[in-house]
Amino acid sequence: MKSLFFFKPQIKALKLSLPEHEKNLVRFSKGLVIMEKISIINNDESFQHLVKNAKRKSVKRIIIISISVFISIVLLLSGLIAMGQYFMYKEMDKQTLQNYTNSLFTGANIQTNSTNYDHFFLAGTTKSNQFKDINGHQIKWGTIEHFYTILGTKAYVENNSNLNGYNNSYRVFQFYPYTEPKIENDLSYLKTLPPFYNVEVAVSFTQEVTFEEMIKEFPTAQWAWIIQNGLLESIEEEKEHAEEMKKEMPTFIPRNYGLVDGDSAYGFHILKDQPFQSAQNFLDEIATYGNDEQEALAILKERIVERGEDATGLSFPYHEKVYEAEILNKTIGNADARSLKVSGAVLTGTLESILPYLENNIVHHISVGVILPY
């Protein structure tokens, strides 16, 4: 009993000391955990700072690359558009010149007086206005319109109001070659109209005559008709084809072959009081647009020197062959302004002033065109 009593305080002290020790261990462990947490937190904040810096640099890089790509695309597109517009405008000018040159060689009494340009960012149009001069009265005849894009495409816009021989309610006259037999013409109809009416009449001759002879017979002629190379042959081919059709189809009714619409006829305008100068200008235009550039320059220089003028520095700002001029070049040969062969003429004026010319023996066919009741 004494022994147990002796050790009892020690046992109690041990019991008291163990929990205190455990408490210290717990406190120490908690301290370590707190320190570890603090360390982890500190390390995580440094890492986040690095990540943020990296993100900023990445965003800046993406923005710079995006802006560079955008600017490059804009510059590339601007360059392509500017190049496309340049070629589009060049094609528009080329077509305008072509409309003008065509009016020099075809279209009886039809003139091109102006061209309107209408263009925007990616496309454009040209409208060449055509008119006829009827004894000083100008009437609108039609427009030649084309549509263009910067991609290089071009399209003709159909504005033709020619229907059943009428254009804008005005009659389209016709020429008739001397090789074809006589048919009914419009002389009797013209004689029924009031004498003060202004009219346009196409006169076809019984044979080809020189331009000088034509001016003697029709001094007020406003336009001269030329039978172009290949026309008579094409008429004969049409006749042969019609005969074959008639054999296969007995009910087939052939039309009057040889009639040539004034809108597609070949010839040239005659300036008032300057007929031979008009013919010379026409021949020079044929030489210009009916030959290659160097050949055209050689011909024109020779003609200018023959007229006693200076041909030094003669050049073409723009030159291109024109189909109609090539055809006429084969037709006229070496004719000059006086010996040029013509097959008809266009007369305009009051009916009273025109009728006497229509009784001429050289007249093969008469076709009336525009009639103005004033």
With cut-offs at 50, 70 and 90, classify the pLDDT of residue 18. Answer: very low
φ and ψ of 15, to 5 deg: -60, -35
CB 201 within 8 A of CB 173: yes
Residues 141 and 196 in one domain: no
DSSP assignment of 274-322: BHHHHHHHHHHHHHHHSS-HHHHHHHHHHHHHHTT---TT---SS----
Last residue of one domain, picked from the residues 37, 67, 94: 94
**Same domain flag for 153 and 181:** no
- Which domain covers residue 135, as residue numbers? 110-160
Look at residue 14 and tell me if it is in a domain.
Answer: yes
Among 102, 132, 160, the domain-final residue is: 160
Residue for token pair 């010319």: 357
Within-domain flag for 100: no
The answer to whether 365 touches 204, Cβ cutoff 8 Å, is yes
Shared-domain flag, residues 2 and 138: no
Q: Are residues 227 and 354 in the same domain?
A: yes
Task: Identify the pLDDT of residue 300.
Answer: 76
To which residue do tokens 């810096």 refer? 53
Residues 46 and 90 in one domain: yes
Residue 263 sits in the same domain as residue 331: yes
Q: Which of 190, 180, 214, 184 is nearest to 362 (CA)?
A: 214
Are residue 249 and residue 296 in the same domain, yes or no? yes
Residue 149 sits in the same domain as residue 199: no
pLDDT for position 192: 94
pLDDT digits (tens, 9 = 90+) for 201-254: 999 999 999 999 999 999 999 999 999 999 999 888 888 887 788 777 877 666
So what's the pLDDT on residue 91?
85
Which of 101-105, 195-199, 279-283 is least confident? 101-105
User: d(Cα 322, Cα 102) in Å, to the nearest integer?
Assistant: 8
Question: Is 314 inside a domain boundary?
Answer: yes
Q: Tell whether 290 is covered by a domain.
A: yes
152 within some domain: yes
- The answer as to whether 28 is a domain residue is yes
Bridge partners (DSSP) of residue 223 are 269, 346
Identify the domain boundary among 49, 70, 94: 94
- If you count them, how many residues does the chain have? 374
% of residues, the chain, pLDDT over 70: 83
Amino acid, res. 210:
T
Dist. CA 172–CA 114, nearest whole Å: 22
Residue 102 lies inside a defined structural domain of this protein: no
Q: Is residue 103 part of a domain?
A: no
34 and 127, same domain (yes or no): no
279, 349: one domain: yes
Question: Same structural domain for residues 115 and 59?
Answer: no
When divided into structural domains, the chain yields a total of 3
CA distance 262 to 224: 11
- Calculate helix-pair angle for 275-289, 293-306, nearest 10 degrees: 150
Rg (CA), the chain: 47
**pLDDT tens digits for 36-77?**
555 544 555 676 777 777 788 888 888 999 999 999 999 998
Residues 220, 152 share a domain: no
